[in-house]
Amino acid sequence: MNRLKVAQVGCGYWGQNLIRNFWELESAEVVMACDPDEKARSRMARRYPTVQLARSYAEVLSSPNVEAVVLATPVSTHYEFAKQALLAGKHVLVEKPMTTTSLQAIDLIETAAREGKTLMVDHTFQYTAAVRRMKALIDSGELGELLYFDSVRINLGLVQSDTNVLWDLGPHDFSIMDFLLGQEPVSVSAIGVKHLRTPYENMAYVTAQFDSSLIAHFHLNWLAPVKVRRTLVGGSQKMLVYDDMESSEKVKIYDRGVSQNHDPANRERLLTSYRNGDSLAPNLDTTEAMRLMASEFVNAVQEKRAPLSDGYSGLRVVRLLEAAQRSIQQDGGVVLLSPMIPRPQISRAAVASVA
Amino acid sequence: MNRLKVAQVGCGYWGQNLIRNFWELESAEVVMACDPDEKARSRMARRYPTVQLARSYAEVLSSPNVEAVVLATPVSTHYEFAKQALLAGKHVLVEKPMTTTSLQAIDLIETAAREGKTLMVDHTFQYTAAVRRMKALIDSGELGELLYFDSVRINLGLVQSDTNVLWDLGPHDFSIMDFLLGQEPVSVSAIGVKHLRTPYENMAYVTAQFDSSLIAHFHLNWLAPVKVRRTLVGGSQKMLVYDDMESSEKVKIYDRGVSQNHDPANRERLLTSYRNGDSLAPNLDTTEAMRLMASEFVNAVQEKRAPLSDGYSGLRVVRLLEAAQRSIQQDGGVVLLSPMIPRPQISRAAVASVA
Amino acid sequence: MNRLKVAQVGCGYWGQNLIRNFWELESAEVVMACDPDEKARSRMARRYPTVQLARSYAEVLSSPNVEAVVLATPVSTHYEFAKQALLAGKHVLVEKPMTTTSLQAIDLIETAAREGKTLMVDHTFQYTAAVRRMKALIDSGELGELLYFDSVRINLGLVQSDTNVLWDLGPHDFSIMDFLLGQEPVSVSAIGVKHLRTPYENMAYVTAQFDSSLIAHFHLNWLAPVKVRRTLVGGSQKMLVYDDMESSEKVKIYDRGVSQNHDPANRERLLTSYRNGDSLAPNLDTTEAMRLMASEFVNAVQEKRAPLSDGYSGLRVVRLLEAAQRSIQQDGGVVLLSPMIPRPQISRAAVASVA
Amino acid sequence: MNRLKVAQVGCGYWGQNLIRNFWELESAEVVMACDPDEKARSRMARRYPTVQLARSYAEVLSSPNVEAVVLATPVSTHYEFAKQALLAGKHVLVEKPMTTTSLQAIDLIETAAREGKTLMVDHTFQYTAAVRRMKALIDSGELGELLYFDSVRINLGLVQSDTNVLWDLGPHDFSIMDFLLGQEPVSVSAIGVKHLRTPYENMAYVTAQFDSSLIAHFHLNWLAPVKVRRTLVGGSQKMLVYDDMESSEKVKIYDRGVSQNHDPANRERLLTSYRNGDSLAPNLDTTEAMRLMASEFVNAVQEKRAPLSDGYSGLRVVRLLEAAQRSIQQDGGVVLLSPMIPRPQISRAAVASVA
């Protein structure tokens, strides 16, 4: 099998990580690196002397040598850049969030389908050993009925940028939730705050509700003194804690939950108690998640199949971000989400109506 | 000064802690212990052989030997028991929450005033070294502008009882917030969930908003696999983390915050960046909070002054609980709080209109 | 069964804990409390008004009402007080270390045997849920071959007293090791340091070697800025970490160890590699260890059987302390320990020769 | 200033880290990479396509284009490889431990001096922000009298190799201690254990004693279930904890220590008590230590000055390893170290006599 010829577009912090991982893949060959900033290009020249450098995206699009683009550019460019690449006959891997509106996301999905090209979004966390282990556990049914998903992603990191904390940190948690739960919320509400005359929200609390009594909640914050990345998943039989700041034991599985018995004195009455059992920290493999993600992109292209984090996955996350943003603008009012049309039948009109 | 003659009413888990602390005070004398449960009474008889035992509350009320009652009875009894005690000429210390409605709270405040008796609520956390240290820091202005108060109080502990997680765990965080911030929210919203056909909410997310951009948020949960008691207080100059599960270093003060400078190139443009400085863990004294609280009750009675956690403090907490409960019943709708009338002029009518 | 009539002798920090636990036992009755300090006695009078107070130990010994004494007096008095009590026909529970020399320990064992009385030492940690769980695991053989026992017990707590850090903190770790491993070391070496012109060693490193390649090591320190109580037990199949400062998950069992395979290329050559598996934190019961210990004392007396932490257990710990102290005085020279004579045949002469 | 032309010798785990850091330096140019292993060379070819590849060290030595060699080869080759490079007129940076004997170390120091070339050892930890911050604190005198240095470096990582745990993990702690304390021990003792028929010691406890009552102790272990890297430095005024596993707050400064007062009742008697003050976690810069180390090597060469971790630093560490190894072979017997001759006068004969 020939190595997939890849162009890295955007060589900032994330772009450098992406190119490093594609560079190491046996199945890919990084042939071009594109960035308007001269310093960024000369850094690439030093590290990867054989890679062709491009100042403008047009050079990438017009190069017959490039089979796939990896987009790590500002979010506002994702849609245009991805669309142009697909139309130029190139496969696309794009940083999260995939686009800034769900309409754009749908258009990319449809364009990729029409052009017969692969569209994938870099939801890196789906590829971590921790999240994959939790996914296996949840899918096995061991947790029992799912009760809640609670995530805290806070740290000190306010930056002047083109986005708020919801669009910056939210895609991580929304994509993890989407992947793990395999269900879509029926409504979203969110409260956001702009402190100290900053133009964008620097903290947000987001709640998502599901058909059942399952609930999800997110605390996103750029102004926290400590870095916390902790997710709880509560089930009726077992519960999970995922603490990404732990150097080992990132995932713990608690054999704890709720029991219900009929009151022996009164069969009508239900007694609820809790079980407090052992906790288990599975040993996790240490492969870098981004390596797996890069590899999945190349494999999906070569096997002509949908990647794990495909365009629909990107769309579902953007839809949640959009709904949360709308709720923030309505001071926390509940925003309803219509069910997504099943994937094969998905159409622009159908999905446009929902979010 | 004579020792204050105290009756312990309710000798369950909390009652046992209270009586133990009053028993140790030089300034108080526990003369009576009251509990309808025979086992509880015989436990008291064994531990405190000189204390007079009472089966019914009427015996306490009618005893001329009792000057003050300490109520650790079910929440639903707080109002009636406290009112009867005040009318019988006895000082009252009551477990939190003080009452189940703010109208009841106002009635107790007025009754105590009329009878010239002390009314105090056991907001124990106000008396911990950690909270007192944070209070001093916030009052000193070192934190700068207050930005947010975020508290997580979760553990495994679902119990069949007469209350939900909001009324069980909320009083701790609401009283800490009320004490530390010294401001009252203008609105409250809350989402609560009843999982697994339990009759009461077992988890709740509560948000309180203030006049400024200050925001408070609470995660209360009886079905969490791990015990977390962590509060963040964000200021523009410094930030606090209060982790009550730490055996030492419960409070950390982070010299971290936000800086704003005018862009040298464009004086109109404000640049926001963050400062990332040292963190300090003050050494805290180790006096038991409940001992200080018990002592404050006796002192307030003897000095004929309002105690630190007086009836108004109890009222403010009940008002927040009431508002949060109402919001839960309205699926998260915002509940507005009118400003409380300043304390000296407080009247039943005025306060009744607000919550 | 009649309740055992107990006298608490020494009502300082540990004495107060002991009397509180005996007070709560259904099977015991605290009839007397003895302390030369007036304040200590009046504290007891307030807490336990029905208990008879004694200023001198002689009053305890001569009281026909006292069946057993609980000694929480300075270490230097343990031997005399215990011996007198046994000779006065009373059962004895004594704080650790049981005596200051192994000769004294042997004499107490023999005296107790002659008088037909129970002699027990308060090795509290043997009664914790954590240590009992580890004992069960080790006895089950799950750990494979035992490789090492490493314990760190450090904190800030230099006190002017009659003893050094070895005799103050060492008994905890030595008794835990003795209980868990069920083997006796063949030699001990130790280094101790007296900092800042203090008369007693404030830190010590102790090493104990066994017949096999098993080794034990202890770091004891009164001048550490942080409190650490952590024990590692390494086995060829599994390993344990016991962290007593954790509020939950005090014990973790690591499915980690060493594998040995024959080199497929060369059958003579042994390849060693390690297994890195899951870790498990068993849920532990929360009964107070001292309650179990007090109960064991009463039960052993009433059932006329040896208690779990009997005189021999006390002797083995004292023997290790003695050997470590001798090594400290020899600047770390190795001190050999002869095998202890099996318990039934133990005699003063035999044991005296060994340590 | 021209960029220093560097050859990376040994392209395994450490070699890859080294070449990556030199590659990023403005002041250096990596011109050659040498490794006998074909896979390692082809990995280098992919990552650094412009670098010349060498199979044998002779090619490096004979290349006029190479001004300096960076040695990340097996320890047993360090001395020969470094000596040959110096004699071939090249500067040398060598992985720790610098050599396997102190005689070799002295020979390298003298050879470098004679040839006028720079000799430096990669004691990476000296260049971490954590260790540099501790060094500044200790040098400022804030800690008061130094009392002890205690280090635990344990993890699961038994590997078949040419060395034992002392020579593998010890250089880290010995170089940190040497750098921080600025004093040399007068004696060393050590106990090592070979478990499970492994040919090399897999755990060791090392003690070093100084002229004063200062003591150092090291626990090194390849068979621990958890990864611990924790160093305590005790002073009479303040104390440090350095926990390298913390993601932030790696260093904590405790305002804790010992106070001595004359007993007011008896001027002859000294009362010792402890102070328990606040703890401070300084914010540390996040530059990669290896980058600083690489930069220091280039700067020292270009400025013709001794580097921070010069040959003497390497010698002092090797001398301690040698002494500890000798003590292990003598079952923990004390090995005396003569004082090192001050650096300018150092001679082979003088130093040879000491270790």
* Residue in B100, B56, B107 with CA at minimum distance from that of residue B74: B100
Asked if the structure places residue B354 within a domain, the reply is no
Average pLDDT of chain A?
91
Asked whether A289 and B174 are in contact (CB, 8 A), the reply is no
- CA-based nearest distance D48→chain A, Å: 7
Q: Is D261 on the interface with C (CB under 8 A)?
A: no
Q: Which of A312-321, B52-61, D330-339 is the least confident region? A: D330-339
Residue of C nearest to B246 (CA): C247
Q: Which of C14-28, C82-96, C151-165 is the least confident region? A: C151-165
Q: Is A155 on the interface with D (CB under 8 A)?
A: no
Asked if the structure places residue B348 within a domain, the reply is no
Asked if the structure places residue D320 within a domain, the reply is no
Over residues A7-23, the mean pLDDT reads 96
The answer for A 39-98 residues in CB contact with B (under 8 A) is none
Chosen for mutation from B258, B260, B261, B331 (greatest number of chain A CBs closer than 10 Å) is: B258
As a whole-number percent, the residues of chain A with pLDDT over 90 amount to 81
Residues C49 and C70 in one domain: yes
Residues B16 and B135 in one domain: no
pLDDT, tens digit (0-9, with 9 covering 90-100), for B135-181: 999 999 999 999 999 999 999 986 656 789 999 999 999 999 999 99
Do A278 and C277 count as a contact with CB atoms less than 8 A apart? no
Q: Is A282 on the interface with C (CB under 8 A)?
A: yes
Residues D130 and D275 in one domain: yes
Residue C353 has pLDDT above 90, yes or no: no
Number of inter-chain CB pairs under 8 A, A vs B: 140
Asked whether B110 and B87 are in contact (CB, 8 A), the reply is no
- Residue C350's pLDDT is 35
Q: What are the residues whose beta carbons fall under 8 Å from the beta carbon of B333, sequence distance 6 or more?
A: B189, B327
d(CA A287, CA A305): 23
Do B227 and C245 count as a contact with CB atoms less than 8 A apart? no
Q: What are the residues whose beta carbons fall under 8 Å from the beta carbon of D223, sequence distance 6 or more?
A: C147, C148, C234, C239, C258, C274, D156, D158, D195, D202, D203
The amino acid sitting at D300 is A
CB atoms within 10 A of CB B299: 16
Residues D11 and D140 in one domain: no
d(CA C153, CA C169): 7
Asked if the structure places residue A252 within a domain, the reply is yes
Q: Is D283 on the interface with A (CB under 8 A)?
A: no
pLDDT, tens digit (0-9, with 9 covering 90-100), for B187-243: 999 999 999 888 899 999 999 999 989 999 999 999 999 999 999 999 999 999 999
- Residue A162's pLDDT is 75
**Cα distances (angstroms) measured from residue B36 to each of B8, B10, B240:** 12, 8, 44
More confident residue, B338 or B107: B107
Q: What are the residues whose beta carbons fall under 8 Å from the beta carbon of A66, sequence distance 6 or more?
A: A5, A6, A7, A31, A32, A60, A90
Asked whether C251 and C176 are in contact (CB, 8 A), the reply is no
Residue A106 has pLDDT above 60, yes or no: yes
Which residues in chain D are closer than 8 Å to A227, comparing Cβ atoms?
247-248
Q: Is D193 on the interface with C (CB under 8 A)?
A: yes
Which residues in chain D are closer than 8 Å to C194, comparing Cβ atoms?
213
d(CA D144, CA D146): 6
Reading the block at residue A332, the tokens are: 């926390």
Task: Give residue A46's pLDDT band: very low, low, confident or very high (50, 70, 90).
Answer: confident
Q: Is C219 on the interface with D (CB under 8 A)?
A: yes
- Residue C348's pLDDT is 41
Q: Is C283 on the interface with A (CB under 8 A)?
A: yes
- CA-based nearest distance A237→chain B, Å: 11
Residue C347 has pLDDT above 90, yes or no: no
Task: Give residue D286's pLDDT band: very low, low, confident or very high (50, 70, 90).
Answer: confident
- Residue C273's pLDDT is 75
Asked whether A179 and A314 are in contact (CB, 8 A), the reply is no
- CA-based nearest distance A141→chain C, Å: 20
Which residues in chain D are closer than 8 Å to A47, comparing Cβ atoms?
23-24
Total structural domains within chain B: 2
Ordered DSSP codes for D160-204 = -SSS-HHHHHHHHHHHHHHHHH----SEEEEEEE--TT-SS--EE
Look up the domain containing B76 and give its range. 4-125+289-309
Residues B22 and B150 in one domain: no
Stretch (H or E) spanning B59 = helix B57-62
Residues C160 and C215 in one domain: yes
Threshold 0.90, pTM exceeds: yes
Asked whether A128 and A231 are in contact (CB, 8 A), the reply is no
Residues B262 and B163 in one domain: yes
Q: Report the CATH number that the domain containing residue D267 is assigned in CATH.
A: 3.30.360.10
| Helix, strand, or coil (residue C169) | helix
Ordered DSSP codes for D236-268 = SS-EEEEETT-SS--EEEEEEEEEEEEETTEEE
- Residue A264's pLDDT is 67
Over residues B334-339, the mean pLDDT reads 90
Reading the block at residue B62, the tokens are: 């009618």
Q: What are the residues whose beta carbons fall under 8 Å from the beta carbon of D210, sequence distance 6 or more?
A: D181, D183, D184, D185, D186, D216
Over residues B112-125, the mean pLDDT reads 97
Average pLDDT of chain D?
91
For CA atoms A300, A305, A307, A312, the dihedral sign is: positive
Residues A276 and A297 in one domain: no
Over residues D166-185, the mean pLDDT reads 96
Task: Give residue C269's pLDDT band: very low, low, confident or very high (50, 70, 90).
Answer: low
Asked if the structure places residue A332 within a domain, the reply is no
Average pLDDT of chain C?
91
Do D50 and A47 count as a contact with CB atoms less than 8 A apart? no
Chains linked to D by 3 or more Cβ pairs within 8 Å: A, B, C
Residues C103 and C168 in one domain: no
Q: Among A263, A280, A297, identify where a domain stops.
A: A280
Residues A109 and A61 in one domain: yes
Which residues in chain A are closer than 8 Å to D48, comparing Cβ atoms?
49
Residues B112 and B215 in one domain: no
- Residue B267's pLDDT is 65
Do A195 and B224 count as a contact with CB atoms less than 8 A apart? no
Only one residue has tokens 């015990």, namely B227
Helix residue spans in chain C (DSSP H): 13-24, 38-47, 57-62, 75-87, 102-115, 129-140, 165-181, 289-303, 311-329, 348-352
pLDDT, tens digit (0-9, with 9 covering 90-100), for D213-227: 999 999 999 999 999
Helix residue spans in chain D (DSSP H): 13-24, 38-47, 57-62, 75-87, 102-115, 129-140, 165-181, 289-303, 311-329, 348-352
Q: Is B354 on the interface with A (CB under 8 A)?
A: no
**Cα distances (angstroms) measured from residue C176 to each of A74, C29, C102, C134, C308:** 60, 29, 18, 10, 12
- CA-based nearest distance A252→chain C, Å: 9
Residue C142 has pLDDT above 60, yes or no: yes
Asked if the structure places residue D120 within a domain, the reply is yes
As a whole-number percent, the residues of chain B with pLDDT over 70 amount to 91
Residues B78 and B203 in one domain: no
Over residues D150-174, the mean pLDDT reads 88
Q: Which of A255, A277, A281 sits opposite C279 (nearest CB)?
A: A281
Residue D72 has pLDDT above 60, yes or no: yes
Asked if the structure places residue A33 within a domain, the reply is yes
Reading the block at residue B49, the tokens are: 């052989």
β-strand partners of D88: none
Asked if the structure places residue D335 within a domain, the reply is no
Over residues C167-173, the mean pLDDT reads 96
Chosen for mutation from A149, A188, A223 (greatest number of chain B CBs closer than 10 Å) is: A223
| Helix, strand, or coil (residue B195) | coil
Asked whether B270 and B83 are in contact (CB, 8 A), the reply is no
Burial of B328 (0-12, 13-18, 19+ CB in 10 A): buried
